[in-house]
Amino acid sequence: MSGLPRLGWIGLGAMGGPMARVALERGHAVDGYDVAEPARAALAAAGGGVVASPAAAGAAADVLVLMVATPSQAESALFGEHGAAAALRSGSVVLLMGTLGDEAVRDWAERLAGSGVRIVDAPVSGGVARAAAGELLVMASGTAADLDLVAPLLDALASTVAIVGEQPGDGQRMKLVNQLLCGVHIVAAAEALSFAESLGLDARAAWEVVRHGAAGSFMLDDRGARMFEEDPPVRSAVDIFVKDMGLVVAAAEAAGHDPLLARAAEDVYRRASAAGLGRADDSQVLRLYRGRNS
């Protein structure tokens, strides 16, 4: 290989799978693990190594990437049965790229430090298409030495790498700011398009008009297009935003900030999940509005 750090990779789903394949294309060796067999098979088809457990993913890794959805999944991957923490070598780095919350990340950093393992906190934003193109936004925090180690990988995965701090948790806090906007924008798009329907307008035609003006946004473009599909592929599930907006609201309240819009958006996602849409694409919060307004 080219002297690039060897990667272990845990989490090969809608975002993690394309990201791991980009890493392979850019010359990294990747040993990947996912609970889902199709995700493991996709990595193998792209030329990656497939391992049987998180521990096996960490055993030979210079950098262990975690791209999982929830703090409990990351806790299990690191410290559960066959977890990676016990297998990681002193001097290796755990690269956290999901939205997991700063409190959990700081806890993991303290627990790993005793064995000489460090954390780079580097959550991503941009969606599935940008993940596959290596054009994500990364919000990274860590020591200069650790950021240097992971820089070739971050440069491969992202069009923008923003260094937002030196401590584990700094990246997570920045990501929560990002998620507040993303979560509110999706709900606002659903409410606006449902409002158009209530006014007797064609919602798709209304979307085509407003997306080109001052009301336009990435989320209106991306999720708005999927809102008109009967059953779109799940690129990010409603329950992911139940989790993310919960993290946003909790962090805001802990900081003494009153998150009025975030609470309202969280309520919409929770209602959508309770209505059976939790595993649907998050664009389908539109269905909740349609049900309430019919």
Catalytic center residues: 175
CA dist list (Å): 151 to 9, 31, 175? 16, 19, 19
3-state secondary structure of 275: helix
Q: Long-range contacts for 139-148 (Cβ within 8 Å, ≥24 apart)?
A: 139/164, 139/171, 139/174, 139/175, 139/178, 140/164, 140/171, 141/165, 141/166, 141/167, 141/168, 141/169, 141/170, 141/171, 141/174, 142/93, 142/118, 142/166, 142/168, 143/118, 146/93, 146/118, 146/120, 147/120
d(Cα 20, Cα 157) in Å, to the nearest integer? 9
Q: What kind and span of H or E run contains 235?
A: none
Separation between Cα atoms, residue 37 and residue 63, nearest integer Å? 23
CA distances from 201 to 54, 209, 224 (A): 51, 12, 15
Instruction: Phi first, then psi: give them for residue 192, nearest 5 degrees.
Output: -65, -45
Residue 266, C-beta contacts closer than 8 angstroms, at least 6 positions apart: 183, 242, 245, 246, 248, 249
Distance CA 147, CA 274 (A): 41
